[in-house]
Chains A and B, each alone.
Chain A
Amino acid sequence: DIISTVEFNYTGDLLATGDKGGRVVIFQRERETKSRPLSRGEYDVYSTFQSHEPEFDYLKSLEIEEKINKIRWLPQQNAAHFLLSTNDKTIKLWKISKRDKRAEGYNLKDEDGRLREPFRVTELRVPTLKPMDLMVEASPRRIFANAHTYHINSISVNSDYATYLSADDLRINLWHLEVTNRSFSILLKLVIDVKFSNTENVGSCKSWRWFHVELCVLSAVFEEPEDPSSRSFFSEIISSISDVKFSHGGRYMMTRDYLSVKVWDLNMEKRPVETYQVHEYLRSKLCSLYENDCIFDKFECCWNGEDSTIMTGSYNNFFRTFERNTHRDTTLEASRESSKPRAILKPRKVCTTGKRKKDEITVDSLDFNKKILHTAWHPTENIIAVAATNNLYLFQEKIN
């Protein structure tokens, strides 16, 4: 099924994906074994469960999609793992735990779970724990529902481990993880107008940092003055932000709009400190991209652990990385043909001039149905997860 979200957990050992069918698949990184000390751990399936089912809202007479819009891990506090997954309307807290023991010898029920006849219970015994095959269970612990009028587009966990935010186009809700029947609501104008405060309140700017909210903002306090000469009917649409990510260090923020990625210093709202063109060659095609709705595609972006490289997706299953220090950028492709296991990815290039060199791809031959919207970077290592429609690709840096 089409993958709709990808997220590493805090240590990078677990990778969760959500898909259009409401399923969550969690991959776990295998520990390096003694026999293969130099090989990096690979990711294998750890758990699969159905997080959301399609629902029908009888009041409004509409079907609620089961597609998982976002997954967010909670910081791990004990042996179990917790994550939040959300579709358009409902957020669920899932507990994923391992079970390798089973209790046997219950007094009141048989081994298969049926209640025993009372007269058959002739003696009392203490149930014993017996080992069993390792099983990973996922169980829903909380369901947070009925708090969003529009479609939930993002959730974000606070560093206090107790509260989190959920946002749709008009509203941000603040939840406590323990409380499902109440939330604090912030209603916003238009889409989102996140007030990062003016320069006087730089202090409060920091207090928003824990939000890590990825919102679609039409207008933000962080606003770059528009260049009037490049204005077109599509200016507004392409400047609409599809993803926001704070840097790990907390000083910077990255925004993704249709054609570029911008890095902002949180202390300076006037203009971004860095701008990277993702696929500028599409600027002359905006009209047909509007026609086929591609102009509304929401690409995500992500930082590497050290905040030195940023990554984002494009069309034709291309994704791009930008090194901030060296200003080097790379275009890579996530496809079966070009990604044999353990093979090194070959950089790709889109031909923007008339003359096409060998191995280059012309803009017109790009496949706009193959879009890489969701990408994730391991929190500490150079391992990236790239979702290409219904395939998940994991790439890692080759160590010589």
Chain B
Amino acid sequence: MFVRGLKRKCFDGEEDIEGTLAGIKAIPSYNLQRQSLLDMSLVKLQLCHMLVEPNLCRSVLIANTVRQIQEEMTQDGTWQMINTQSTGQASLDRLVSTDILCRSSRDQAEGKHVPGYGTFSKDFETDQAQDGSETMSTASSVQAPRNLQSNVWEMENPQENKGNFQKSLDQIFETLENKSPNSVEDLFSEVDNSYYDLDTMLTGMMSNTKMGHCDSLETFSSPTNTASNSNCKSDLNDLDHIVEILVES
């Protein structure tokens, strides 16, 4: 079922890839597998979103998996490595191109323009509370599924793809956000919104998975990911009450 030596995190960790030579050999394979897991997750996410009523639990779990992979990619420097070759563009709406990590080092040396991912976490934190950049941070937190449909080995121009990625991602998160039906808004029309905003919560949960369940899933999140979580937590301190009781008709 699996190729040996790959994906040490999927397996029970018996594969020992310590040692420089072995490590170097194993790392590209691990990255490839991780990449394919990411691609798989994004395809699943997209399929989820194509349903009129996505299974909430499943969507959240898959979105979290995507987030974890992206965090790990940031932290183990995979993205840093790419970043050094960028022209320094610090735009927030650059999106992760799935084929970047699949490129051979030769192609990378040719100096193709590559979006920088180095500031991913940082930008994410500062933009959390801002509505306007919500789509940006969500865009940067999830890879473009549209790219998955094309051959991942194509050397696409990231510049051109940016617009496409953005658009398809927006579509996805828009459909997710719209899953909170109008009837729900009506139900809560009399609620003091400053206290508990359903839309923000649902939106935040779907499009910004870190925000939605930071403190709930704190124990589940990666041990290395502390900065973003604490930021989430402070934002959610206002939402002190996890449970709100409403009288409904």
- Name A residues whose Cβ lies closer than 8 Å to a Cβ of B: 59-62, 146-147, 149-151, 169-170, 173, 181-191, 193, 195, 216, 218-219, 223, 225-226, 228-237, 239-240, 283-288, 290-291, 293, 296, 364
- In the complex the two chains form, is B223's CB within 8 Å of A228's CB? yes
B52 at the binding interface (Cβ < 8 Å) = yes
- Name B residues whose Cβ lies closer than 8 Å to a Cβ of A: 1-2, 7, 9-13, 33-34, 37, 40, 44, 52-53, 55-58, 60-61, 64-65, 68-69, 180-181, 183-184, 187, 196, 198, 201, 205, 212-213, 216-217, 219-220, 222-223, 239, 242-249
Complex Cα spacing A226 to B218, Å: 11
- In the complex the two chains form, is B184's CB within 8 Å of A149's CB? yes
- In the complex the two chains form, is A190's CB within 8 Å of B205's CB? yes
Closest to B58 in A: A296
Given contacts A151-B53, A236-B65, contact A291 B40 (CB under 8 A): yes
Closest to B212 in A: A190
**6 closest residue pairs by CB, A with B:** A219-B216, A62-B52, A287-B10, A169-B56, A190-B213, A185-B248
- In the complex the two chains form, is A239's CB within 8 Å of B60's CB? no
Closest to B61 in A: A237
- Say what secondary structure dominates the interface of chain A: loop
- In the complex the two chains form, is A236's CB within 8 Å of B242's CB? no
Shortest distance between the CB of B240 and any CB in chain A (Å) = 11
Given contacts A225-B219, A235-B220, A296-B61, contact A187 B10 (CB under 8 A): no
- In the complex the two chains form, is A189's CB within 8 Å of B40's CB? no
Measured between beta carbons, the chain A residues less than 8 angstroms from B247 are: 184-185
Measured between beta carbons, the chain A residues less than 8 angstroms from B243 are: 186-189, 193, 195
Give the residue of B13, B37, B57, B180 whose beta carbon is less than 8 angstroms from that of A218.
Answer: B57
Shortest distance between the CB of A213 and any CB in chain B (Å) = 14
- In the complex the two chains form, is B57's CB within 8 Å of A188's CB? no
Shortest distance between the CB of B237 and any CB in chain A (Å) = 13
Measured between beta carbons, the chain B residues less than 8 angstroms from A286 are: 10
Closest to B66 in A: A233
- Say what secondary structure dominates the interface of chain B: mixed
- In the complex the two chains form, is B57's CB within 8 Å of A169's CB? yes
Complex Cα spacing A195 to B183, Å: 27
- In the complex the two chains form, is A182's CB within 8 Å of B249's CB? yes
Give the residue of A181, A193, A223, A296 whose beta carbon is less than 8 angstroms from that of B242.
Answer: A193
Measured between beta carbons, the chain A residues less than 8 angstroms from B58 are: 296
Shortest distance between the CB of A54 and any CB in chain B (Å) = 14
Complex Cα spacing A288 to B37, Å: 10
- In the complex the two chains form, is B9's CB within 8 Å of A232's CB? yes
Give the residue of B9, B53, B187, B201 whose beta carbon is less than 8 angstroms from that of A233.
Answer: B9
Shortest distance between the CB of B57 and any CB in chain A (Å) = 6
- In the complex the two chains form, is B216's CB within 8 Å of A190's CB? yes
Complex Cα spacing A236 to B67, Å: 12
Q: List 8 A-B contacts (CB under 8 A).
A: A62-B52, A151-B53, A186-B243, A191-B60, A233-B10, A233-B34, A237-B65, A287-B10
Given contacts A218-B57, A219-B217, contact A232 B181 (CB under 8 A): no
- In the complex the two chains form, is A219's CB within 8 Å of B248's CB? no
Shortest distance between the CB of B43 and any CB in chain A (Å) = 10
Given contacts A233-B9, A287-B37, contact A226 B2 (CB under 8 A): no
Complex Cα spacing A213 to B18, Å: 47
Shortest distance between the CB of B195 and any CB in chain A (Å) = 12
Complex Cα spacing A63 to B246, Å: 28
- In the complex the two chains form, is B246's CB within 8 Å of A185's CB? yes
- In the complex the two chains form, is A285's CB within 8 Å of B249's CB? no
Given contacts A149-B180, A228-B223, A236-B65, contact A364 B10 (CB under 8 A): no
- A193-B242, A233-B65 given; 15 more Cβ-contact pairs under 8 Å: A60-B53, A62-B52, A149-B180, A170-B56, A185-B246, A187-B246, A188-B242, A189-B239, A193-B243, A219-B213, A232-B9, A237-B65, A288-B2, A291-B40, A296-B58
